[in-house]
Each structure stands twice: as structure tokens, then as C-alpha cells.
Amino acid sequence: MIHFVICDDEKAVCAELEQTVTQILTNLNIKHEIDVFFCPEELEKQIKNGATYDLMFLDIEYFTSKLNGIDLGKLIRDVYENDQVAIVFISRETKYALELFEVQPLNFLIKPLQREKIIKVINKYLTLAGLRTKEFSYKKGRNIFKVPLGDILYIESIGRKLYLHLVDGKEEEFYGSLKDTYESQLQKYDFLFIHASYVVNYDHISALTFSHVRLSQGETSLPISKHRQEEVRAIYQKIFKRRML
């Protein structure tokens, strides 16, 4: 169980963070709890009473509070002697770099928040905490299933359904967003988002042209969207060079 806390006086920011974090961890089948506070004094009160967290998202500036996020971070590190909790600061300003150094944050996010930056922060935390697994998880009804990433040839999106094509010829279907699935589970593991309808496993690509990807299993050939062709080729070459080192 991972215990998160979000402390920001902008309710829209809290809602966005909570929704994104929940989507990522639900897709990964990681149990979690998220507490939300709108002022740092209330969060400090909970910490003083013994509440513990694994990852904190702290706004730096609060319009109705004397305590700011950096001050709270220093209290957590120095007064409450907690060096284990990961802290991510949030602000509309970029001027706090030197002050943040003392608190040793995991990261610093600029408002307005970008979904991809939030995903990167969560992935970084999960990696550092040893919680990133090399399995793909998906939900059907109330049941959650897992398959090794290496067993996936590609994932196809048709309507509201995703179709998981596996190396043994089996096919699994479930409801979901291809974009969300790619960003939350596959992007870090050398999968290529070649088309609005297809995400492909690099390990099973036998040939790549500007317009198509051919898979090593069977005679499957999948199209690459015109607007993705340069990006896909660049990512493919980057993976190839990294693996050759």
C-alpha cells in the first residue's frame, strides 16, 4: 500500500493530481490511498499526530496560510526527522531552486501541471521504491489479469476496447484508453506508439519502414501514422543504439 498526500489550496490542481495518480496506480494494480489537504497547517497537524506518507505533493505558495510548502518540507525533514518520504514541490514560479535543495525533493512541477510530467514523477518514484514490475496488468469486470511484457506483440484499439495480441497467438480484450495505457505502463519499457490504434513491442519488430512496422511473429504488418513517422523512427533508433552499448 502506497500512501500519498496532496496539499494545495487550488482545488482544481488537487483534483487533477488525484485523478492522474489514481489512474496510473490502478492500471498497475498497485494499492494506494490519497489524502488531500488545502492548507499546510492541517497537514502538519496530521503529521504531528503520527500520520505517515510515502509521497507528498506540496504546493509552495498558499494565499491564506503563513506556512509555505518549503517551510513544511523543512519541518518534515528537520523537526519530524523524516528523510524517507519523497517530496514533490508544485509552483507557478521557478525561482525556488536553491531553497528546495535543502529539502532534497524528488522533483519540482510547474503549474499548470502537465499530465506527462506527473506520470514521469510517479514512474520515477515507483522505480526508486522498487515497485515497478515488468508485467502488464489489465482489468476485465472486477478481475485483474497480468501478463509478462515480453509476451506482448502489440496492443490494438478498436472503439472503446483494447485488444492484447500475444506471442502465443492468444488475444485478450478489455476496455481502456490506448494513450493512457501506453503512458502509464508501456512507455518506459520500449514500446512504440506508432498509430492512434496501435502500440508495438520493440522486441518483436523484425522490420521498420517509414510507413509500416513488420512483426517477427507471423506476417503481421501495422501502419505508422504519417504524423508519427519521424518520431517513431527516432525512438526506434534511440532504443537500438542504447541496446548496442
Domains of the chain (ranges; CATH) run 2-128 (3.40.50.2300), 135-244 (2.40.50.1020)
pLDDT of residue 25: 83
**Residue 107 phi, psi (nearest 5):** -165, 175
pLDDT of residue 132: 61
Kindly tell me if the per-residue pLDDT of 244 is higher than 70.
no
Q: What is the mean pLDDT of residues 139-148?
A: 88
Share of the chain above pLDDT 70, in %: 95
Whole-number average pLDDT of the chain: 90
Q: What is the mean pLDDT of residues 219-242?
A: 91
Hey, what's the cell of 205?
519488430
Q: Output the pTM of the full model.
A: 0.58
Please report where in the chains the cell 509478462 appears, as a residue.
Answer: 148
pLDDT of residue 129: 81
Kindly tell me if the per-residue pLDDT of 180 is higher than 70.
yes
Q: Where are the beta strands (DSSP E) in 83-197?
A: 86-91, 107-110, 135-140, 143-148, 152-158, 161-166, 171-175, 191-195
pLDDT of residue 29: 67
119-139 per-position pLDDT tens digit = 888 878 887 887 765 789 999
Kindly tell me if the per-residue pLDDT of 200 is higher than 90.
yes
pLDDT of residue 149: 86
Kindly tell me if the per-residue pLDDT of 217 is higher than 80.
no
Kindly tell me if the per-residue pLDDT of 86 is higher than 90.
yes
Distance CA 136, CA 178 (A): 13
In angstroms, what CA-CA distances link 77 with 26, 41, 120? 30, 16, 24
Cβ proximity of 148 and 170 under 8 Å: no
pLDDT higher at 90 or 133 = 90
